[in-house]
């Protein structure tokens, strides 16, 4: 019994937001149907009943509709709260991992030299490329994004245009996030992409400039194919909106 209860709790914790979203969608449909039926009954009641009876019966008819509507609203808010909590948990885990990686990289450079982390990074990308079995066609080039930890194929013009569009919104609005950049590239968003971003104030305060800079480091694969590693000297952070 305890094992079953534990599994149920784990399932609800993992899929709670999805369950509440489905309940919300179902609640909207049921509330709409109940509203139509209740409206018809109230209209008939108004035509055939006295004022006193009309008020009491109208309340009895409308009460279930109000309850169902309120329950649907609670499910919507609950799903939103669970999604925000999950997003915050993922962002915190990502931040811990990013800080550990940054500390490891800096320590490696101190012990083994400035190019140590670059050598290790390039070796990992080489291994991932071999596993992917990618082959390019036409005018597209191979890029590697460290935040997605994956390859993507685009033309040089498409990447430069996406960088321009992101910086345009960044200058006009003062902030931008990582998923916004991926949308300009035509790539799927990542879970932490909405909470990782840039602030113009942070850029001016810590980096001395008010735009998102991009670097494209070329790496030649073992088969001779050239890949560009996409790097952000002005790194996205979780607290960008607080600026």
237/184 Cα distance (integer angstroms): 19
* pLDDT, position 216: 92
Q: What is the pLDDT of residues 52-87, one digit of tens each?
A: 666 677 777 777 777 887 887 887 877 777 676 766
Q: Would you say residue 158 has pLDDT above 90?
A: yes
Q: Would you say residue 200 has pLDDT above 80?
A: yes
Mean pLDDT of 218-241: 84
Mean pLDDT of 175-181: 92
| DSSP letter assigned to residue 233 | S
Enumerate the domain spans of the chain: 2-88, 115-242
Strand order, beta sheet including 150-154? 150-154, 141-145, 226-231, 215-220
* pLDDT, position 160: 94
* pLDDT, position 185: 95
Q: Structure pTM? A: 0.58
Buried b (16+ CB within 10 A) or exposed e, 21-44: bebbeebbebbeebeeebeeeeee
Helices 116-132 & 51-112 angle (0-180, nearest 10): 120
**Identity of the highest mean pLDDT range in 28-42, 85-99, 207-221:** 207-221
Model confidence band, residue 91 (pLDDT cutoffs 50, 70, 90):
low
* Mean pLDDT for the chain overall: 78
Q: Would you say residue 1 has pLDDT above 90?
A: no
Which residue would you say has higher pLDDT here, 222 or 52? 222
**Identity of the highest mean pLDDT range in 17-21, 29-33, 147-151, 234-238:** 147-151
């Amino acid at each position: 019994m305890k094992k079953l209860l534990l599994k149920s709790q784990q399932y609800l914790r993992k899929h709670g937001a999805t369950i509440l979203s489905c309940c919300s969608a179902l609640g909207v449909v049921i509330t709409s149907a109940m509203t139509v039926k209740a409206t018809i009954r109230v209209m008939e009641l108004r035509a055939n009943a006295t004022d006193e009876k009309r008020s009491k019966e109208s309340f009895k008819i409308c009460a279930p509709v109000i309850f169902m509507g309120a329950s649907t609203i609670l499910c919507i808010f609950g799903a939103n709260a669970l999604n925000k909590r999950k997003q915050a948990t993922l962002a915190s885990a990502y931040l811990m991992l990013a800080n550990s990686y940054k500390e490891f990289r800096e320590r490696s450079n101190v012990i083994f030299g400035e190019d140590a982390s670059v050598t290790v990074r390039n070796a990992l990308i080489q291994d991932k490329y071999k596993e992917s079995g990618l082959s390019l066609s036409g005018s597209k080039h191979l890029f590697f994004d460290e935040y997605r930890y994956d390859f993507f194929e685009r033309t040089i013009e498409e990447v430069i245009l996406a960088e321009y569009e992101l910086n345009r919104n960044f200058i006009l609005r003062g902030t931008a996030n990582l998923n916004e950049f991926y949308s300009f590239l035509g790539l799927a968003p990542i879970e932490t992409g909405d909470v990782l971003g840039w602030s113009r104030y942070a850029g001016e305060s810590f980096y001395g400039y008010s735009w998102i800079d991009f670097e494209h480091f070329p790496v030649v694969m073992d088969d001779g194919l050239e890949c560009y590693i996409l790097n952000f000297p002005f790194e996205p952070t979780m607290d960008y909106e607080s600026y």
